[in-house]
Amino acid sequence: MDWLPENHLVFILLDLAAELNLGEIKAYLRQKDPRGEKAYDKRMMVMLLLDAYCVALPGERKIEKACWEHANIDVFTINQQPDHSRISDFWRRHLDALAGLFVQVLRLSQKAGLASMGRVELDGIKIRANASKHKAMSY
């Protein structure tokens, strides 16, 4: 923690993580058979995915590599390096719960003055163009 500046993203995410409601993820983990492989801490996995989304780190393999290489991720992973398949499994299993958590993060960020909410609309108009789709393609 001493290596990072005081206003680093990790510290903002740590503050946000303390406020998140992980009830859906906890309920799922209570239903699992306890004799299986020990799960990584759910809050740590959520923090890992939040950090990856914030810095636009696509893909589980790149997230796994960042766990080994980036000191800022060590702040919340506490020297644990989840495998890319474990990150992918966690993401797939808890996709609906994570969607709710991202909404919680946005609301908490708005309350803290870190983000502003607005309306975004995309236009889907198709315009006829003077171009051949066969000439523009390459195989």
Question: For the chain (length 139 residues), average pLDDT per consecutive 10?
Answer: 75 80 83 72 86 84 86 79 88 87 81 73 71 65
Could you tell me the CA-to-CA distances from 135 to 5, 128, 130, 138 in Å, in that order? 52, 16, 12, 8
pTM across the whole model = 0.69
Q: From CA 6, how far away is CA 9, in angstroms rounded? A: 9
Return the pLDDT at 137.
63
2, 28, 99, 117, 129 from 55: Cα distances, Å: 21, 28, 18, 20, 36
What confidence score (pLDDT) does residue 77 get? Answer: 81
Residue ranges per structural domain of the chain: 9-112
User: What pLDDT does 80 receive?
Assistant: 82
Average pLDDT over all residues of the chain:
80
Q: What six digits make up the tokens of 76?
A: 């919340």
